[in-house]
Structure 1
């Protein structure tokens, strides 16, 4: 586990860029947790920009998922904040989104833990007022270890 203080939006985007670069080749499932305004979507934007996205990134609060195809890499950005019943995910074919090589960014995963595959990396963000944000990064798999430590040897 690692904890980082992100002093401003640029630092949040830079962390996202680092993670996006690290998960580019083999995909990853990343859970983004934290209160409203904690920086989850900003972090997702940094990841998407590292993968080649040029436009704005909005949290898909009403649609639940926003797909991206960037440089032949499939990325799904989920926002489960407005999910009223986790069984809704079954109706949308949630398991089909988590194919090998896909990058899945899931905001508010706690609203559907039982319906989601396990995360490679779990990130908990907390707003610290004028001091910025605190983010706790916890690798849950070997792939998650590689995201935190790109030189991590998986042999």
Structure 2
């Protein structure tokens, strides 16, 4: 799928928001400036968050608990491996809400085998190519309309 610009990326995040259930994980991969945080902002806005959505690069985990379904926006860019991932307690958080995880590859292969795995790749014309690996848990919900 091609997302023409930042507005289209955020709007696509809004479509994903309509599909989310407690326990879901959405992973966002791609290089710096690929649109991962923009897509996450679109999800959060569609779920009812109207404030700022900073990149969680330094905080690592940014909670948004006052939404239709609580969301924890996670950025694993600064962690160095799966052992650090365990210290964050994300599996416990996940039982009550949704995880949106940027840079999931830093958490090790297979950290969330049931995640909707989205990858964004910038293109020369400023658009983004989005690819998805859709797990069984998302069958019947994907693709968003």
Under a length normalisation based on structure 2, what TM-score does the superposition of the two structures give?
Answer: 0.89
1:140 deviates by 1.3
Asked if 2 retains the 8 angstrom alpha-carbon contact of 1:51 and 1:70, the reply is no
**In the alignment, structure 1 residue 136 sits paired with structure 2 residue 134:** no
**Alpha-carbon distance change, 147 to 36 in structure 1, aligned in 2, over 3 angstroms:** farther
Rounded to whole Å, the distance in 1 between the matches of 2:128 and 2:144 is: 23
Aligned to 2:103: 108
1:114 deviates by 4.8
Asked if 1 retains the 8 angstrom alpha-carbon contact of 2:13 and 2:40, the reply is yes
Asked if 2 retains the 8 angstrom alpha-carbon contact of 1:122 and 1:138, the reply is yes
Which consecutive residues of structure 1, in runs of 5 or more, have no partner in the other structure?
Answer: none
Rounded to whole Å, the distance in 2 between the matches of 1:106 and 1:136 is: 16
Give the alignment's Cα RMSD to 1 decimal: 2.0
**In the alignment, structure 1 residue 6 sits paired with structure 2 residue 26:** no
Within a 5 Å distance, the mapping from 1:80-119 to structure 2 comes to 80-99=76-95, 101-114=96-109, 116-119=111-114
Asked if 1 retains the 8 angstrom alpha-carbon contact of 2:120 and 2:131, the reply is yes
Rounded to whole Å, the distance in 1 between the matches of 2:35 and 2:106 is: 18
Asked if 2 retains the 8 angstrom alpha-carbon contact of 1:32 and 1:105, the reply is yes
Within a 5 Å distance, the mapping from 1:15-94 to structure 2 comes to 15-23=12-20, 25-94=21-90
Which consecutive residues of structure 2, in runs of 5 or more, have no partner in the other structure?
Answer: none
Under a length normalisation based on structure 1, what TM-score does the superposition of the two structures give?
Answer: 0.83
Runs of 4+ in 1 over 6 A off after TM superposition: none
- CA deviation profile, 1:48-105 (whole Å, cap 9, x unmatched): 0110010121221112110111335211100000112331222232321221x51110
- How many pairs align? 145
Asked if 1 retains the 8 angstrom alpha-carbon contact of 2:22 and 2:94, the reply is no
More strand by share: 1
